Homo-oligomer: A and B are copies of this chain.
């Protein structure tokens, strides 16, 4: 017994995860540039030099976190959309999943969003391209909804920006210990989004408006 992590113990891959967890919390709280490798190491229970056994640089930690977040976000939203057949149904499912995912991983979401500018040109361009592609998925759902007569909106691009901004922002204010469960918050956002697009409320699987 007693495999407890002692001072100086070797933990292998567990160390890598400890580094990532420490980095996500510190980056989210202090910002990437205000966080030092020494802080990350201390929070992970190792010495600064040990980080370089797992990551080639500080920036590599950041890009790893951001790539992981985008991977899992895209996977979750793709899966949610796959079960729908109409543009309105797809968008409702995508919005719901986007909100829930951001509520479950607020720090990773925040770090991915707000630390884009901390990246050097190449990874920066890569991440921006990924987010543009993700936004394009929402815009296309809106455009298809307009063509199908399900939505009525002046400008699908502006609408997609507005939708993603308000839903992503849930990561900024949602409190797991607060009054509103995440599922309720997600449902409210689906209502707001569909209403903003002038969606008819018929057969999209939506519940009643009143609480």
**A contact residues vs B (CB 8 Å cutoff):** 29-31, 33-34, 114, 117-118, 152-155, 158-159, 161-163, 165-170, 172-173, 180, 185, 187-189, 191-193, 195-198, 209-211
Contact = CB atoms under 8 A, between A and B. Distances in A.
Contacts of A198: 195, 209
Contacts of A155: 180, 188
Contact of A161 (B117, B166, B187, B210): B166
Majority secondary structure of chain A interface residues (helix, strand, loop or mixed): helix
A120 B169 CA distance: 23
Contact of A162 (B33, B180, B189): B189
B117 A188 contact: no
Nearest to A192: B196
A34 to B, nearest CB: 4
Contacts of A152: 209
A31 B33 contact: yes
B211 A154 contact: yes
Nearest to A162: B166
Nearest to A211: B154
B173 A161 contact: yes
* Shortest 10 CB-CB contacts between residues of A and residues of B: A165-B169, A196-B196, A33-B33, A162-B166, A166-B166, A192-B196, A33-B34, A165-B166, A195-B196, A158-B188
Contact of A159 (B29, B169, B192): B192
21 contacts: A30-B117, A31-B118, A33-B33, A34-B118, A114-B114, A154-B187, A154-B191, A154-B210, A154-B211, A158-B185, A158-B188, A159-B188, A161-B173, A165-B166, A165-B169, A165-B172, A193-B196, A195-B195, A195-B196, A195-B198, A198-B209
